[in-house]
Amino acid sequence: MASADSETGQGTPEAIPQAVKIIVAGGFGAGKTTLVASVSEITPLSTEEVMTEASYGVDDLGGVESKSTTTVALDFGRITINDDIVLYLFGTPGQDRFWFMWDELASGALGAVVLADTRRLDTCFHAVDFFERQGLPFVVAVNRFVGSEPYEAAEVREALDIPAAVPVVMADARDRDSCRDVLVELVTHVIRSRSPAMTG
């Protein structure tokens, strides 16, 4: 006998994709806004503002002297992995004075991408420390800037004192495929880090 749905022609309700929250963090000028914009399938929400004289002397512009805008709240983008999973990307502001927002942004996140700029590697220390304290799985993506030192992943890992289990990958925040690969690496890392708990 046909089901009521078949008789009415309505069929099974379409499944709603699982929403997964991902944080994109790192130092000031590391390329977080660029990464979100590169990979997002929608026009990203960005709270970039033109830097004013008030920020000079407050924000560390060493190595990024040509930067003229800065994120003052967050960046937001979306990328559909498949019919079941949609990633929502939240880019954090990188300046010290906005760190108070990170706890709220990280709430409910599956994992994080820490963007590292080898011209100013010390600027991502806070992000690494933050996610380690939160117990939130993360990967380090080394954004290859023109003119930056071509350090290898092992050198970056040693400099940041990152555990062997945390992936360190090379990336180009301007390139969609490269950014997608970083997100795939993060999701894979999250699944791998949760496997013992799931099977134990």
Local confidence pLDDT in tens for the 200 residues of the chain: 444 454 455 555 566 668 899 999 998 888 998 999 999 998 877 655 444 444 444 444 454 444 444 444 578 899 987 888 899 999 888 656 566 778 888 899 999 999 999 888 898 999 999 999 999 999 999 998 877 778 899 999 999 999 999 999 999 999 999 999 999 999 999 999 887 654 44
Number of Cβ atoms within 10 Å of the Cβ of 114: 27
For residue 6, is it within any domain? no
Rounded to whole angstroms, the Cα distance separating 28 from 96 reads 9
Rounded to whole angstroms, the Cα distance separating 21 from 83 reads 16
For residue 139, is it within any domain? yes
For residue 13, is it within any domain? no
For residue 67, is it within any domain? no
What is the per-residue pLDDT for 85? Answer: 84
Question: What's the distance, CA 20 to chain centroid?
Answer: 12
For residue 34, the domain's CATH number is 3.40.50.300
At 158, which amino acid appears?
A: E
For residue 120, is it within any domain? yes
Cα dist. 140→1, 63, 74, 186 in Å? 56, 20, 19, 9
For residue 110, is it within any domain? yes
What is the tally of structural domains in the chain?
1
Domain holding 81, by residue range, is: 18-47+73-194
For residue 55, is it within any domain? no
